[in-house]
A and B are shown apart, each in its own frame.
Chain A
Amino acid sequence: DGGITQSPKYLFRKEGQNVTLSCEQNLNHDAMYWYRQDPGQGLRLIYYSQIVNDFQKGDIAEGYSVSREKKESFPLTVTSAQKNPTAFYLCASSRVNTEAFFGQGTRLTVV
């Protein structure tokens, strides 16, 4: 089945640690995105990539980093510089000028 796979579903991070969230798609989509969801705030764009080896900052990129070495993969690293990382993270992908398809999300909690 084609789709977007995010892993892990739940992730716990200690203060000062970097953690990496995985996102893989087999839809042959060129564009991929990372959104952060907090209660009552909707979804906010962290980073997006429209082509391999290229990506742009979204509205809330501080404290996050990404890479796009393969078309299928767009991992997100939450660094220790992100002061409030507890949130639900959603990865999405799309072809050019079409709707976005979403993964099932990763819930990150700082312990």
Chain B
Amino acid sequence: AQSVTQLGSHVSVSEGALVLLRCNYSSSVPPYLFWYVQYPNQGLQLLLKYTSAATLVKGINDFEAEFKKSETSFHLTKPSAHMSDAAEYFCAVSETGGGNKLTFGTGTQLKVEL
């Protein structure tokens, strides 16, 4: 069975600082991995996805994530935080390569301070 662990339910950074949100996964087969962002009372928007091509994946709004098989990790980073990045972020895994039965982590709430 697949699973996702997001370390840190709340992360706080200063505007302009590095953002690092952690995600570790468990999967019995090569996974497909996703990061989604959710603003209050809205649906989820895809930030980026890993589909077994390049291990460093670039997404929207300068976010990127690196797939590390040896560490079973897919951490999300952004070089410089902006106030508009404050939201909840979800890491998800799929063993079939897409929306089929996505398993989500419990989410990380990102706070950006002046």
Contacts and interface: CB of A to CB of B under 8 A. Distances in A.
Partners in one complex: yes
Interface of A: 4, 6, 31, 33, 35, 40-45, 48, 50, 58, 88, 90, 92-105, 107
B43 A31 contact: no
A105 B43 contact: yes
B45 interface: yes
B17 interface: no
Contact of B44 (A48, A58, A90): A90
B90 interface: yes
Interface string B98-112: 111111111100000
Given A42-B106, A94-B99, A100-B98, A105 B41 contact: yes
8 contacts: A41-B106, A42-B90, A48-B100, A92-B99, A97-B100, A99-B98, A105-B42, A107-B41
Given A94-B98, A100-B99, A100-B102, A42 B107 contact: yes
How many residues of B sit at the interface, in one of the four size bands? 20 to 34
